[in-house]
Structure 1
């Protein structure tokens, strides 16, 4: 009986751990794509609560592990579980440090490594290790997994996770920590109305090109037109927040031309089968924008009344209000009207 009780307890704790890790991973990935204040806030809260909720399982999991150590060596959990534990700790600590407003964890050649970078890096390694670990457990779903006791436990865990998250947010406000001022997506303000003060960052292996494009190649409906970059400033403007996935945001007044104006002025009315517009950088980085957003998405040449700098996408960059910085393609040299869906692309650029 004791052995069966241990097995049930171990199974429930493992399912709870897996559930929280999946929620944390899913909301972490989703948070990179959604930049609207309301949706971004909900995603950020779910991500933080799921991560901190792991702390609630520590006492329960510790008891199970201690009892498991008394079993014969062949029946004990593999050492991979301890590696997973270490990675989870790194993710939690680095995530809390970022939420508190830590500038960096350590320095390499005088450059601080952001807590967010450590958090994301550890999470990627953790995801791979978790997949390998789960595949090796060979546990099948059971009816009891959806039983009343399990559902009540899941509800209590979710509620407790939100309580811990709320307590940490209250702590930042009480102590005046920088984390109290971060945005709903978890980013910190850097350079609003001052483009020169915005950090120069780019996605993954993308790098600042040595030379800028002199024209943008525009294609669609069987036509191709080369538009000089000097003709891209058509006076269209929008005030939008660049919310970078590197953990910072800045509001700017952007000026240039909307994608809709760019396409219709040079190619004529959009074809009936047109579904999205693909915007590509000289580096190969690209994103597809839904056709419904073409009137509000800008190909910007200026920020705060000044021409864009090379680091911030000169001569032209995409400005996609309500989307995270990963969508804001820099150094644009190609715009294409496509008859395929906008979502027919990787969640994030793979180059």
Structure 2
């Protein structure tokens, strides 16, 4: 199967296969940060894992390519970028596998393994661009031939089979990775907020003073509400799925956003900006207001400072960076919700 799935001769098609797998792995890795609903996130995570493992299938062929290239270009081309790219690709695959198997508890020098995985992936993207620009290979019409597409399909099947074998092995051995969520996240602190990790987007930080009021701007009016007045008994059990590689299922209590905005004369196709005291913000569709909660409590206890006290947004079905902490202002706007960076920049 493997022999027929991969290029019979090491060379251009090997490099092309590696490039496609790297692009798929990188693209699905970025996409995985934004997808939180079960089925789409599972498909994205599976494609990401299969593409990463597929790189290992091409290692023997790439080794032949490297030996030939060294013989032809000895002394004429600096191999530093190429070797740096190989090292970063290897580190990215290894750290991804270790995080998958063991979960977010592993760290390197105090840095979570998933963060190392992301950092090496970014470095890989940079060196891949440098390496591709310096390469003499250019696209050809034959790259999209029937034979080329069949071989690409065989490679995809082999990569998916390898991913399936790894997943099966995790389940047979009972490794922590067998209990991952569809996004690839591992469970941490469900039902126990004190055991839930304190994390935030890399541009954000726990404020010294989160204040005690929330501004509600809607229908041309600004209303200031005490955080204590937002505990109106509305509850929702939702999964906080952090891009740091962990998730926790908790019961959140506070007030539903649609109840808070009732009678405010809202625009038909508007959005709602939720802004933190730190300046961090996310914009969500106003149509989702019935599913959004301004939470003051988690698992029956008041929120801690690290988890967004006194008020945080709960956005079921969205990744953790949508769950704005330390909410200072909620503002209804006419702009579409998608008119913002896909990931927070501040």
TM range (shorter): over 0.9
Larger mean CA deviation between 29-38 and 76-85 belongs to: 76-85
RMSD between aligned alpha carbons? 1.9
Residue 3 of structure 1 corresponds to none
Among 180, 183, 188, the residue aligned to 2:181: 183
Find the aligned partners of 2:157 and 2:320 in 1 and give their Cα distance.
32
1:350 corresponds to 2:345: yes
**Pairwise mapping of residues 91-102 of structure 1 onto structure 2 (< 5 A)?**
91-101=92-102
Structure 2, gaps ≥5 residues long: 1-6
What do residues 244-297 of structure 1 show as CA deviations (whole Å, max 9, x unaligned)?
1111111111111122222235xx12123x421111111111111112211101
Counterpart among 235, 238, 241 of residue 240 in structure 1 = 238
CA contact (8 A) 1:40 1:185 kept: yes
For 1:212 and 1:180, the matched residues in 2 are separated by: 38
Q: 207, 217, 220: which is aligned to 1:219?
A: 217
| Pairs aligned (count) | 338
Instruction: Return the alpha-carbon distance in structure 2 between the equivalents of residues 162 and 187 of structure 1.
Output: 20
SS at match of 2:34: coil
Checking the alignment, whether the CA contact within 8 Å between 2:170 and 2:177 is kept in structure 1 is yes
2:58 is equivalent to residue 62 of structure 1: no
Q: Does 1:81 align with 2:82?
A: yes
Deviations 1:51-75 (A, max 9, x none): 0000111111111111122214366
User: How far apart in 1 are the matches of 2:182 and 2:138?
Assistant: 38
**TM-score in terms of structure 1 length:** 0.91
Contact 1:206–1:285 (CA<8 Å) still a contact in 2?
A: yes
- 296-305 or 223-232, which deviates more: 223-232
2:20 corresponds to:
19
Whole-angstrom CA distance in 1 between matches of 2:137 and 2:265: 56
Q: 1:214 to 1:105 in 2, by over 3 A?
A: closer
Partners in 2 of 1:77 and 1:63 — Cα distance? Answer: 19
Q: 2:265 maps to which residue?
A: 269
Q: Which runs of 5+ in 1 are unaligned?
A: 1-5
**Could you say which residue in structure 2 is the equivalent of 1:252?**
250
CA distance in 1, matches of 2:30, 2:176: 24
